[in-house]
Amino acid sequence: MTSVNKNRKFRDENAMAKYNDKELAETSKFLSFVLRHKPEAIGIVLDREGWADIDKLILCAQKAGKRLTRALLDIVVATSDKKRFSYSSDGTCIRAVQGHLTSQVAIGFIEKTPPQFLYHGTASRFLDEIKNKG
């Protein structure tokens, strides 16, 4: 399954007006938790590439007491500053782009040789630990 362009801009201002920043942030955190760490917390199963069926995700989230709709998903996916989520090319599935800790997922990324200089942004408070432990 391939993913669609995650960098598209969300343009439906009427839909955006229905949700406040706090609700968008909470939904993003919820999706990260479910799609990266514990899909079983709401009773969904991810495939080996980390994809979840959107209809099942919404249904299971609602059964777990989380207000989740396709419109809300669309806004969170489109406006995420870190592009955390992507839709499948047919628009029926969603996944977290990176950071999976669940054993359900083993994304088969293509191995590449890194360039001579590779930069990674991090907070300075983590530098000592990174230097010592990698």
pLDDT tens, N- to C-terminus, the chain (134 residues): 544 434 344 445 555 567 788 899 999 999 999 999 899 999 999 988 889 999 999 999 999 999 999 999 999 999 887 788 999 999 999 999 876 666 666 666 677 888 888 887 888 888 888 888 87
Instruction: Measure the CA dihedral 85/87/92/94, to 10°.
Output: -20
| pLDDT given for residue 95 in this prediction | 92
Task: Tell me how far apart the alpha carbons of residues 45 and 114 are, in angstroms, rounded to a whole number.
Answer: 33
| pLDDT given for residue 4 in this prediction | 44
Please, what are the domains in the chain?
13-96 (1.10.10.970)
| pLDDT given for residue 97 in this prediction | 85
Map tokens 């088969």 to a residue.
Answer: 108
